[in-house]
């Protein structure tokens, strides 16, 4: 049985992951509107990854006999100053998500809930990857600066990202 505080924290995390998915969809729309299709593809893939995260929390709460409770999802911004600003916002958001997950892990330790603590380890590793992939793009965009040819090359690379569903049981 899940402690009420943990059940609430996990439900809040479902909301945060849904917002993440919404945020990246908004960024995909922004990149489509500004004629940067590779970055739009990258963000669409990110949206799909977030929905996988949502589903993992959902199933875990159910498996532990908890109650999934869905709240309103906030509207994301729709505009960024530049491609770099959008990816910097994505990186800042991922850092925020990592911090949230660490807080839930702390709560699990406090309540001696080893099952939840173990469940969260996948997310803790995943966040290292999430931050790294966003940071890589930020660094490349910083290097390119206002160089149109550089941006074009980066966009071509971002266009190659594909969605890989996690292996069963992962
Ligand atoms: Fe679900 Fe991008 O963290």
CATH code for the domain of 98: 1.20.1260.10
102 domain-assigned: yes
Over residues 13-37, the mean pLDDT reads 98
Q: What integer pLDDT is reported at residue 134 of this predicted model?
A: 98
Q: From the CA of 113, how far away is ligand 1's center (Å)?
A: 23
Q: Evaluate whether 113 touches 156 at the Cβ level (below 8 Å).
A: no
Q: How many folded domains does the chain comprise?
A: 1
Q: Which domain holds residue 84?
A: 4-158
- Residue written as token pair 């009420």: 4
58 domain-assigned: yes
pTM for the model stands at 0.96
Q: What tens digit of pLDDT does each residue of 117-150 get?
A: 999 999 999 999 999 999 999 999 999 988 899 9
165 domain-assigned: no
Task: Give the whole-number percent of the chain exceeding pLDDT 90.
Answer: 93
| 13 C-beta closer than 6 A to ligand 1 | no
146 domain-assigned: yes
Rounded to whole angstroms, the Cα distance separating 54 from 154 reads 29
| 11 C-beta closer than 6 A to ligand 1 | no
Q: What tens digit of pLDDT does each residue of 145-162 get?
A: 888 999 999 999 999 999
| 56 C-beta closer than 6 A to ligand 1 | no
Over residues 97-113, the mean pLDDT reads 98
168 domain-assigned: no
Q: From the CA of 94, how far away is ligand 1's center (Å)?
A: 6
Q: Whose CA is nearest to atom 1 of ligand 1?
A: 50
């Amino acid at each position: 049985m899940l402690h009420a505080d943990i059940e609430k924290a996990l439900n809040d995390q479902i909301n945060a992951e849904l917002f993440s998915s919404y945020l990246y969809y908004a960024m995909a729309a922004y990149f489509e509107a500004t004629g940067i299709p590779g970055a739009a593809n990258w963000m669409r893939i990110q949206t799909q990854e977030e929905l996988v995260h949502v589903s993992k929390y959902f199933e875990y709460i159910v498996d532990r006999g908890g109650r999934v409770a869905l709240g309103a999802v906030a509207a994301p911004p729709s505009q960024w100053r530049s491609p770099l600003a959008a990816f910097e916002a994505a990186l800042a958001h991922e850092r925020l998500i990592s911090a949230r997950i660490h807080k839930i892990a702390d709560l699990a330790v406090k309540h001696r809930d080893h099952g939840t603590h173990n469940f969260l380890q996948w997310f803790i590793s995943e966040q290292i990857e999430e931050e790294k992939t966003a940071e890589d793009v930020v660094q490349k965009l910083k290097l390119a600066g206002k160089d149109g040819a550089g941006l074009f090359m980066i966009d071509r690379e971002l266009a190659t990202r594909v969605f890989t569903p996690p292996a069963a049981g992962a």
